[in-house]
Amino acid sequence: MITSKIISNGIIRAVAVLILVALVLYFLFQIQNILIYLLVSLILTLIGTPILDFLKKKLKFKHTIATITVLSIYFLLILGFIMMFIPLIISQGQNLSLLNTAEIERNSLELIQKINIFLEQHHIDAAKVFNPNSFKSFINFNTVPNFLNSVIGTISGFGMGFGSVLFITFFFLKDRSVFLEGAKLLIPDSHEEKILNSAEKINLLLSRYFIGLLVQLFIVFILYTIVLFIFGIPNALVIAFLCAVLNIIPYLGPLIASVFAAVLTMLSNLGSDFQSEILPTTIYVLIGFWIVQLIDNNFSQPIIFSKSVSSHPLEIFLVILIAGFSFGILGMIIAVPLYTILKVICKEFFPDNEFIQNITKNI
């Protein structure tokens, strides 16, 4: 029989659970930067593990020396990135007057005016669509400086956390066997073998995925750079790098990169005639970018998103699509790694399920 005492105890327990959950979420929110450091360190560990194994097995490095070597490679790559791209980004910002709101507005309106004149010359009335006054009221030009300030803040925050990330990564690589032994103490004996097998497969697949992703971004960066150099676009390295980074966003990223490259191409050639120089150059750059994306979509991405995580291309496409509709751009970025983890876990714990057998047969 349900009494008032039982009901009150149940309410008290429910309230206590809600308070506990709220406190945990608040605590996680307060340490979100630390969680980000841990996540970045984990990704660097996954990428560095094959390099570490190569140094130990092929070059006979001792474990600690191999770990220090991997960290040194990371440090030199990031230092090289900073020395190479930060001055170029500053130069690009000065060339496009990105820190000057009035200059941004004037350049953009001048570009719109050139497009307007071009359309009028071809007997197309686009005054309403490209009316400078309506465009000015529709666009908040302070967005660009505000965005750059947030980027600078992010870079500054990364600089402060850089040492922390490398420190954490060092111990993730150096003491992974110690962490594994510690984890065994927390794992129930009945599930120990399955969990350890899952962890090993997840480590292998995600290592392949992240290394493949870096290779893909590097290939796209090189091809974008070649396209921009061919057509003489100023600061081609910076534009190519930013567009390549956008490729981290599956399917949607290349489209954003094309628009971004087209806008920067037009703004970089404002002093030229629109019909004879700006428009043809922009079209050629877009065609070049689309060719790069065609190569990437048919060669690079299938290898990374399919072979590296042992999944069918259609399967990956649907997973990314569902994640994108459900959680936006962030969902699209984390869809493949998270789906891979779930597949491995399902295979270990539900090996007799026919559906799971079908989708995990290549793992």
Looking at residue 214, what is its pLDDT?
Answer: 85
251: left (phi over 0), alpha (psi -120 to 50) or beta: left
CA angle 248, 246, 107 (to 5 degrees): 175
Is 65 in contact with 174 (CB distance < 8 Å)? Answer: no
Mean pLDDT of 183-190: 73
- Is the pTM higher than 0.85? no
Residue 83: count of CB within 10 angstroms of its CB: 9
In a domain, 91, yes or no: yes
Q: DSSP of 21-84, one letter per residue?
A: HHHHHHHHHHTHHHHHHHHHHHHHHHHHHHHHHHHHHTS---HHHHHHHHHHHHHHHHHHHHHH
Q: Write out pLDDT tens, residues 245-279.
A: 888 887 788 888 888 888 888 877 766 676 677 78
Do 96 and 45 lie in one domain? The reply is yes
If pLDDT is split at 50, 70 and 90, which confidence band does 142 have? low
- Is 179 a residue whose pLDDT tops 50? yes
Do 244 and 322 lie in one domain? The reply is yes
Is 234 in contact with 281 (CB distance < 8 Å)? Answer: no
Give the alpha-carbon dihedral of 213, 298, 246, 166, to 10 degrees: 10
Residue of 242, 250, 233, 266 lying closest to 321 (CA atoms): 250
Using the 3D structure, point to which of 186, 217, 249 is the last residue of a domain.
Answer: 186
Highest mean pLDDT among 19-28, 123-132, 187-196: 19-28
Do 194 and 146 lie in one domain? The reply is no
Do 238 and 329 lie in one domain? The reply is yes
Do 199 and 348 lie in one domain? The reply is yes
Do 162 and 58 lie in one domain? The reply is yes
Do 253 and 318 lie in one domain? The reply is yes
Do 156 and 244 lie in one domain? The reply is no
Q: Write out pLDDT tens, residues 299-337.
A: 777 677 777 777 777 788 888 888 888 887 778 878 888
In a domain, 133, yes or no: no
- Is 158 a residue whose pLDDT tops 70? no
Residue of 330, 73, 346 lying closest to 214 (CA atoms): 73
Tokens of 18: 């809600």
Mean pLDDT of 172-194: 77
In a domain, 232, yes or no: yes
Looking at residue 97, what is its pLDDT?
Answer: 44
Do 145 and 73 lie in one domain? The reply is yes
Looking at residue 23, what is its pLDDT?
Answer: 92
SS3 state of residue 220: helix
19 is in which domain, residue-wise?
1-30
Helical segments of the chain, H only: 4-30, 32-57, 63-95, 101-121, 132-138, 143-174, 176-186, 192-230, 236-246, 252-268, 279-295, 301, 313-349, 354-359
Do 163 and 281 lie in one domain? The reply is no
Looking at residue 50, what is its pLDDT?
Answer: 87
Residue of 176, 222, 190 lying closest to 53 (CA atoms): 176
Is 299 in contact with 223 (CB distance < 8 Å)? Answer: no
Tokens of 187: 């794992």
Question: C-alpha distances in angstroms, 88 versus 82, 147, 177, 337?
Answer: 10, 18, 42, 33
Do 74 and 155 lie in one domain? The reply is yes
SS3 state of residue 241: helix
Question: C-alpha distances in angstroms, 109 versus 130, 262, 267, 276?
Answer: 9, 16, 11, 19
Provide the domain count of the chain. 3
Q: Write out pLDDT tens, residues 94-137.
A: 444 444 555 556 666 666 777 777 766 666 665 555 555 555 55
Do 90 and 235 lie in one domain? The reply is no
